[in-house]
Structure 1
Amino acid sequence: MRSSLLIQFQFITILSLLCCHNSPITAEALDVHVSMFGAIPDDGLDDCLAIQKAIDRCASQPGCRLIFDKGQYEIQEENPESEIKHLSFEGVKDLQVIGNGMELLCSGQVYPFSLAHCKGISFENLSIDWKRVPWSVGEIRSVSGTELIIAVEPDFPVDGTEPAVAINEFDPATRQLKAGGQEIYYDIEQPVLAGPQTLKITLKKPVPFAPGSLAVIRHRVYGLNAFVIQDCAGVAIHDVTIFCTPGMGVFSDSSRDLSLDRVRVLVRPGTRRAMSTTADATHFISSRGSIRIENSIFEGMGDDAVNVHGFYLRMTELIGEKTVAARHTNGFHAVPRKGDILEFTSADSVMCYATRTVESATVDGPIHRITLADPIPTEARIGDVLGNASSVPKLEIRNCIVRNNRARGFLVQTRGALIEHNRFEGCTGGGIFVTCDSGYWSESIATRDVMIRENQFTGCNMGVALAEGVISIFAHVKDFHQAQLPGVHRNLRIENNQIDGGFNSGIFISASDGVLVSHNQIKNFSQSPTCEAGKFPIYIQASTRVTLRNNQIQGLPENSPGYGIGSGCPEGSVKLEP
């Protein structure tokens, strides 16, 4: 008996020791250090393959932490020993990427972070930059017809082989986009080296660039995004800085439940740079669930800070009783899922006239073949568009700063949005657009339930991508014409915002039904109006049930009501309250 008890005691003791010994091993196994696979910071070597091996190790065991040491890691396109030119997180689940202040330095045609079919992945405390930025900065020495001579600064070495995709005019004193400055996209011949660090650039059409201005020549605009998020759920990007990328900072397609907190897109301090990302800071397509962006800074981009939208698909064929063929104007994919609600929408007015539930959908090239649960609406016509009302993420953007970028601040093309406590400074276009488009871009969807409150706008809408208002609500149809019927957008509130400056109006409202404009402060508006709407601090057209309540306008002419009403507003559609 005693022998049996002794054996049991010894077994339990050994088991306990094993358990105690195994606990730290298990915990340690969850921490995957990139250094274990040969990625060493600050050694000047290409770390892509080593980091990828560490990522693959994490992919095999959900719940890991991928840990970098502080320092600089590199992804080098020119490394002949590695065919890998991006960090792929395909299929990874439940992973924390801990940067510890590391910087990822890229060179050439590489992709920093590529996520596909991921769930529950977060990135924190890291930065991204490019060794040779995808633009050059120089002084415009002369303009002769369509020919520019540009003396490029030494920080941006050129040899005449660099393409010129876009050119923007900057103020040499501030190194920021010039108010009323010029730009050109794509219509540019290959630059020719006309001397040391001097480029001769021939435009395909005349553009009145001013000698003495700075030119920022973008050698690439789209394609190499810092973060690509494809068909993922629960992705968080926190405490991340993007100094440069030849494309967008964060690009997401068909993903859900995304969070950005303390994301900084910045012109790198201490450099002669004049730009950060060559395109948008963030861009979200066909999202679901929620998108939350907080406490972030977006500076110096070549395009918008935030764009959230789906796609309108244009019907090309009605097949039988329940099937339609449709495609996006520019060939993008936006495949609906079984159970999604599609809004049949007039391309001429962007007004929804019927809804149907999706039974199935396939895609072949650009053509989407969609079978419905019920018959096609009798009103449906070839050329009308389909908007996916199930792909409309809730959007919250708060406590962010957008400054000194080309184009707009936020483009809100979703439903259920709260935009509050943000600052917009020097956006060349409008600060906030609430919009959709059945024409060239075909970005959906007609919005509902949008709140814009307690934001500050300074010196916006005074350059390229100029709009009717600093805050603009509108819909575009073919050839960027304004939609002419009230009710595309519904239930909108614009409250307690401060707007200082702008070539046109402070607030522009079009194609809307049910808008409250309350307690906003507007001054220094209409500095150089480019349209009738731009002559008023607040302008309303093609809208109904608009209430203006206690807005404070500085600089109004005597006896001016403080707003203008254009065509398309039914009688009594605008109500003025004290």
Structure 2
Amino acid sequence: MAAGLMFSPEKAVVASETAPVVIRVADSGLMPNTRLNVEPMIRKWLRTHRDRPVHLVFPAGRYDFWPHHRDEALFAPSVAFDLTGMKNVTVTGAGTAFVFHGRMMPFRIDHAADIRLEGFSIDWDRPFVSQGQIVSITDDYVDMSIDSRAYPYEIVGDSIFFLGEGWRSPITKNYNNLYDKDRKEIVYQTRDNPLGDLPGAPATKLDGDLVRFHFRPKVTPEVGTFVALYHGAYITDGILVINSERVEIVDVTIYHTLSCGVSGYRSTDISLKNVQIIANEAKGRVFSVIADATHFNGCKGTIVMDGVTMTGAGDDFTNVHGMYAPVDSVTGDRSVMVKPNARYIGFDEGEIAWVIDTLTMQPKDSIRVVGQETVWHDGKVVGYRVTFDRPHRGAVSAGDLLENADRNPDVFIRNCRVLKRHRARGILVTTAGKVVIEHNYFNTAGAAILIEGDTDLWYESGGVRDVLISNNVFENCYTSGNNIIDSPWGWGEGVITITPSIRPVRPDFPTFHRNIRIMENTFRHYDHAILYARSVSGLVFAKNRLLRTFDYEPFYRPVGIYLDGCKAVTLADNEADDDFLGKSIHFEHMPKREITQRGQRVFK
């Protein structure tokens, strides 16, 4: 643990009774580049001025944060900047490096408002992911070079344990993805744990930093391939925004966090501008954050992502959704019990619940919520009792789903770079609000865009109503997806994948999604699968350019556009290279008359 610091608070704080409290960190004696622990003083300042507007100003340089001893004793993450309950707070850096140690959450923005973070980076000296590079591979073992200074480890018997600041861990079974030696991209046609039982393999120390893992690898990547070795998942988020409003994150670089880079939960109006969530290449890393770069659950208002780049993340670029609440039982003519869920977003008084029929995924009623009660038994949450403003008269039954109609944000994603240098998919979005995805560059390992609506796995709601995907470039996406052999873990069905849980069984089956327009995009693609769409009404694929590339071998289903149970589909004025592969169209659970093709008849 780092030592304490001497400081001069009278020099640090500038304020009048009405103006924001301006805390100039350098004036306090908290100088950069000392590697001493600044967490105690940041905590004290924020507690002292919790009821005032605050502007924390950091100079250029490095500031280190170590866990609070109380949190370490409880084996819980410490929070470096706890903005709980605060309003009008700005944290400004000048290219400042915030470096964390052990289990820490950099920012917690909880029941707060008007928060702005800008001008700094977030990283760990010892991240919770290690990295190896394959030196030799046979049918019986894999030799890997692991930098013991950057990623300390020990071998006890034949078991390898990696050592961190306050932690010791084996290789867990989360991900352990392969990155090619030159472009640092997810290796073609590999997904999670592609080598096989690396986490359980006996290990032997060889000369220098070489370690031999004794097992039969499932694949044989080329020598020089990097392996990201994970030591946990979903430990704690980097910037957590919870029950807050009007949060701006500007000119921030996130090299590592212990779960999502930025996570929003039940919050309103969040924007990210010129945010980089990327691997720290100066340290030779191929990985960045452990989970999604960004994730938004149960939010409302607007979510804006402009100029965001991601590499090295352990999951998707972003995931925006609500949550279905499965009804466990009817407890009265005005109330029901819903099942517990760790990501449950619930209902505030006055919010509207859509009642969803699980057989069709269609809303069958809407009803106003007047109360919600958490139900406990033996110290555990066993459900939530939701009370309505009127008798539901049988409109709600056990097995139905409740969806919060008021928590469907508008989403605007522009000028972003979503690269193959991270695991899984690009943009995941399910919201009934307005969605605009434009002027982005996609080069992803899985689906570039995934629109679902899930009633059988994660319960992420809901049906989209207004989606525009325009003026984007999709280049060689979907090089590692394969839902045919690995559903539902196969990272999608094509470059753009629309796959709600509902499975149409006949042509008149109601559609789940509607009004999705894919227009004026450029697809530079090596394979067939451009669009897979299930249960969509009002699907437009128009004025897109389809160009053949030869960078990878085609491998997936030989269908360009796959339609399942869709209605009012328009294919218009698209242009394709003569040798473009994805010109075929397949449809099922729908009549051909639902497809209108105008202009050049690209698809046949």
Among 487, 498, 518, the alignment partner of 1:473 is 498
Question: Per-residue displacement from partner, 1:152-196 (whole Å, max 9, x unpaired)?
Answer: 245433223232223112212333210112422997656655105
Residue 362 of structure 1, CA deviation:
1.9
2:449 is the alignment partner of 1:436: no
Q: Relative to structure 1, is the Cα distance of residues 348 and 65 closer, same or farther in structure 2, using a 3 angstrom cutoff?
A: same
Q: Corresponding residue for 2:409?
A: 393
Distance in 2 of aligned mates of 1:108 and 1:285: 27
Q: Tell me, what secondary structure is at the counterpart of 1:184?
A: coil
Identity of aligned residues (%): 25
Q: Relative to structure 1, is the Cα distance of residues 563 and 342 closer, same or farther in structure 2, using a 3 angstrom cutoff?
A: farther
Q: Corresponding residue for 1:60?
A: 51
Q: Corresponding residue for 1:109?
A: 103
Residue 301 of structure 1, CA deviation:
1.3
Q: Corresponding residue for 1:16?
A: none
CA contact (8 A) 1:501 1:527 kept: no
Q: Relative to structure 1, is the Cα distance of residues 206 and 351 closer, same or farther in structure 2, using a 3 angstrom cutoff?
A: farther
Give the letter aligned to residue 552 of structure 1.
E
Give the letter aligned to residue 461 of structure 1.
Y
Question: Per-residue displacement from partner, 1:337-390 (whole Å, max 9, x unpaired)?
Answer: 122222222324322222222121122315121112233363544222221111
Kindly report which structure 2 residues correspond to 1:399-418, keeping only aligned pairs within 5 A, or say none.
399-403=415-419, 404-414=421-431, 415-418=433-436
Q: Tell me, what secondary structure is at the counterpart of 2:478?
A: coil
2:542 is the alignment partner of 1:518: yes
Q: Corresponding residue for 1:495?
A: 519
Distance in 1 of aligned mates of 2:523 and 2:405: 32
2:283 is the alignment partner of 1:271: yes
Among 429, 442, 453, the alignment partner of 1:424 is 442
Q: Corresponding residue for 1:30?
A: 21
Which ranges in structure 2 are unaligned for 5 or more consecutive residues? 1-13, 155-159, 163-169, 376-380, 482-489, 600-604
CA contact (8 A) 1:106 1:131 kept: yes
Residue 148 of structure 1, CA deviation:
5.0
Q: Corresponding residue for 1:448?
A: 465
Give the letter aligned to residue 493 of structure 1.
R
CA contact (8 A) 1:37 1:53 kept: no
Distance in 2 of aligned mates of 1:476 and 1:516: 21
Q: Corresponding residue for 2:166?
A: none
CA contact (8 A) 1:248 1:282 kept: yes
2:588 is the alignment partner of 1:567: yes
Q: Relative to structure 1, is the Cα distance of residues 360 and 567 closer, same or farther in structure 2, using a 3 angstrom cutoff?
A: same
Q: Relative to structure 1, is the Cα distance of residues 524 and 116 closer, same or farther in structure 2, using a 3 angstrom cutoff?
A: same
Q: Tell me, what secondary structure is at the counterpart of 1:53?
A: helix
Kindly report which structure 2 residues correspond to 1:480-559, keeping only aligned pairs within 5 A, or say none.
485-501=509-525, 503-524=527-548, 528-530=554-556, 534-555=557-578
Question: Per-residue displacement from partner, 1:32-55 (whole Å, max 9, x unpaired)?
Answer: 123465532111101111111222
Kindly report which structure 2 residues correspond to 1:182-201, keeping only aligned pairs within 5 A, or say none.
182-184=191-193, 189=199, 193-195=203-205, 197-199=209-211
Q: Corresponding residue for 2:292?
A: 280
2:108 is the alignment partner of 1:96: no
Question: Per-residue displacement from partner, 1:124-161 (whole Å, max 9, x unpaired)?
Answer: 1111111012222223433657x755332454332232
Distance in 2 of aligned mates of 1:79 and 1:41: 22
Q: Relative to structure 1, is the Cα distance of residues 368 and 26 closer, same or farther in structure 2, using a 3 angstrom cutoff?
A: closer
Question: Per-residue displacement from partner, 1:228-273 (whole Å, max 9, x unpaired)?
Answer: 1111001110011111122111011111011111111122232210
Question: Per-residue displacement from partner, 1:537-565 (whole Å, max 9, x unpaired)?
Answer: 2221111011111112224589x9x3423
Q: Relative to structure 1, is the Cα distance of residues 87 and 564 closer, same or farther in structure 2, using a 3 angstrom cutoff?
A: same
Kindly report which structure 2 residues correspond to 1:56-205, keeping only aligned pairs within 5 A, or say none.
56-62=47-53, 64-77=54-67, 85-140=79-134, 141-142=136-137, 144=139, 148-154=142-148, 155-159=150-154, 160-162=160-162, 163-165=170-172, 166=174, 167-184=176-193, 189=199, 193-195=203-205, 197-199=209-211
Distance in 2 of aligned mates of 1:59 and 1:200: 53
Residue 298 of structure 1, CA deviation:
1.6
Distance in 2 of aligned mates of 1:489 and 1:81: 45
Residue 470 of structure 1, CA deviation:
0.6
Distance in 1 of aligned mates of 2:386 and 2:71: 46
Kindly report which structure 2 residues correspond to 1:290-305, keeping only aligned pairs within 5 A, or say none.
290-305=302-317
Distance in 1 of aligned mates of 2:16 and 2:68: 39
2:376 is the alignment partner of 1:369: no
2:276 is the alignment partner of 1:252: no
Give the letter aligned to residue 205 of structure 2.
G
CA contact (8 A) 1:89 1:113 kept: yes
Residue 206 of structure 1, CA deviation:
7.4
CA contact (8 A) 2:348 2:372 kept: yes
Structure of greater Rg: 1
Question: Per-residue displacement from partner, 1:190-229 (whole Å, max 9, x unpaired)?
Answer: 66551054456588x9743546343221122322322011
Q: Tell me, what secondary structure is at the counterpart of 1:177?
A: coil
Distance in 1 of aligned mates of 2:191 and 2:324: 31
Distance in 1 of aligned mates of 2:139 and 2:102: 33
CA contact (8 A) 2:20 2:52 kept: no
Distance in 1 of aligned mates of 2:580 and 2:198: 45
Give the letter aligned to residue 135 of structure 1.
V
Kindly report which structure 2 residues correspond to 1:451-466, keeping only aligned pairs within 5 A, or say none.
451-464=468-481, 465-466=490-491
Give the letter aligned to residue 48 of structure 2.
R
Q: Relative to structure 1, is the Cα distance of residues 515 and 33 closer, same or farther in structure 2, using a 3 angstrom cutoff?
A: same
Question: Per-residue displacement from partner, 1:474-493 (whole Å, max 9, x unpaired)?
Answer: 2025xxx7898442001111
Please list every run of at least 4 consecutive aligned residues from structure 1 whose deviation after the TM superposition is greater than 4 angstroms. Answer: 23-29, 35-38, 78-85, 185-193, 198-203, 481-486, 555-558
Distance in 2 of aligned mates of 1:508 and 1:96: 43
Distance in 1 of aligned mates of 2:21 and 2:84: 19
Residue 70 of structure 1, CA deviation:
1.4
Q: Corresponding residue for 1:7?
A: none
TM-score by length of 1: 0.86
Q: Tell me, what secondary structure is at the counterpart of 1:176?
A: coil
Give the letter aligned to residue 519 of structure 2.
E
Residue 512 of structure 1, CA deviation:
0.6
Q: Corresponding residue for 1:358?
A: 369
The size of the alignment, in residue pairs, is 543
Distance in 1 of aligned mates of 2:274 and 2:113: 21
Give the letter aligned to residue 544 of structure 1.
K
CA contact (8 A) 1:143 1:211 kept: no
Among 341, 356, 362, the alignment partner of 1:345 is 356
TM-score by length of 2: 0.83
Distance in 2 of aligned mates of 1:88 and 1:108: 17
Which ranges in structure 1 are unaligned for 5 or more consecutive residues? 1-22
